[in-house]
Amino acid sequence: MNDVSLTVRLIGAEGPRLFARTALERAQRMFPDVDVAGASAPMPASGRVVLMRADHVLDDALVGPLSAASDLALSSSNTSGIAAIVVDATRANQQQALLDGTPNDCARAGLAVAAPQHLAGAYRARLRNRVPPYALSTRAMAPREVERVMYDATYKGITDIVTKYVWPTPAFFVTRWCAAARITPNAVTVVSFLCVLAATALFASGWYLPGLLAAWAMCFLDTVDGKLARVTLTASKLGDVLDHGTDLLHPPFWWYAWYAGLGPANPPYMDVAVWIVIAGYVLGRAQEGLFLATFRFEMFGWRPLDARSRLITARRNPNLLLLSVATLAGRPDLGLAAVAAWTLLCLAFHGVRIAQAFVTRATGRAVTSFLADA
If you write DSSP's letter for every residue of 323-366 in order, what string do you get?
A: HHHHHHTT-HHHHHHHHHHHHHHHHHHHHHHHHHHHHHHHTT--
- Does the pLDDT value for residue 1 go beyond 50? no
> Looking at residues 15-40, what average pLDDT do you find?
94
Bridge-partner residues for 344, per DSSP?
Answer: none
- Does the pLDDT value for residue 43 go beyond 70? yes
> Does residue 140 lie in a domain region?
no
| pLDDT of 126 | 84
pLDDT tens per residue across span 184-228 = 999 999 999 999 999 999 999 999 999 999 999 999 999 999 999
pLDDT tens per residue across span 70-128 = 999 999 999 999 999 999 999 999 999 999 999 999 999 999 999 999 999 888 888 88
| pLDDT of 243 | 84
| pLDDT of 373 | 62
pLDDT tens per residue across span 182-191 = 999 999 999 9
317 and 192 inside one domain: yes
pLDDT tens per residue across span 137-154 = 999 999 999 999 999 999
Q: pLDDT averaged over the chain? A: 94
> Does residue 97 lie in a domain region?
yes
Q: Range of 70's domain? A: 6-119
Percent of the chain with pLDDT strictly greater than 70: 98
305 by Cβ neighbours in 10 Å (0-12 / 13-18 / 19+) ranks as exposed
282 and 325 inside one domain: yes
- Does the pLDDT value for residue 4 go beyond 80? no
> Does residue 113 lie in a domain region?
yes
368 and 255 inside one domain: yes
- Does the pLDDT value for residue 65 go beyond 80? yes
> Does residue 11 lie in a domain region?
yes
227 and 164 inside one domain: yes
For residue 334, CA distances in Å to 21, 210, 319 come to: 48, 18, 12
The total domain count for the chain is: 2
Task: Return the higher-pLDDT residue of 19 and 40.
Answer: 19
pTM for this model (two decimals): 0.92
Classify 178 in phi/psi space as left (phi over 0), alpha (psi -120 to 50) or beta: alpha
pLDDT tens per residue across span 292-316 = 999 999 999 999 999 999 999 999 9
66 and 187 inside one domain: no
96 and 214 inside one domain: no
CB-based contact 279:273 (threshold 8 Å): no
Of 171, 142, 141, nearest in space to 159 by CA: 171
pLDDT interval class at 374 (50, 70, 90): low
> Does residue 240 lie in a domain region?
yes
- Does the pLDDT value for residue 63 go beyond 90? yes
Round to whole Å and give the CA distance between 346 and 309: 9
> Does residue 147 lie in a domain region?
no
Q: For position 34, which CATH number holds? A: 3.90.550
Phi then psi for residue 193, to 5 deg, are: -65, -35
> Does residue 239 lie in a domain region?
yes
| pLDDT of 14 | 93
Which of 68, 96, 119 marks a domain boundary?
Answer: 119
- Does the pLDDT value for residue 47 go beyond 80? yes
243 and 358 inside one domain: yes
| pLDDT of 290 | 98
19 and 103 inside one domain: yes
CB-based contact 111:72 (threshold 8 Å): yes
Round to whole Å and give the CA distance between 369 and 298: 8
Q: For position 328, which CATH number holds? A: 1.20.120.1760
160 and 86 inside one domain: no
- Does the pLDDT value for residue 13 go beyond 70? yes
159 and 104 inside one domain: no
| pLDDT of 301 | 95
115 and 160 inside one domain: no
Cβ neighbours for 244, distance < 8 A, ≥ 6 positions apart: none
Which of 99, 119, 139 marks a domain boundary?
Answer: 119
> Does residue 60 lie in a domain region?
yes
| pLDDT of 235 | 86
83 and 216 inside one domain: no
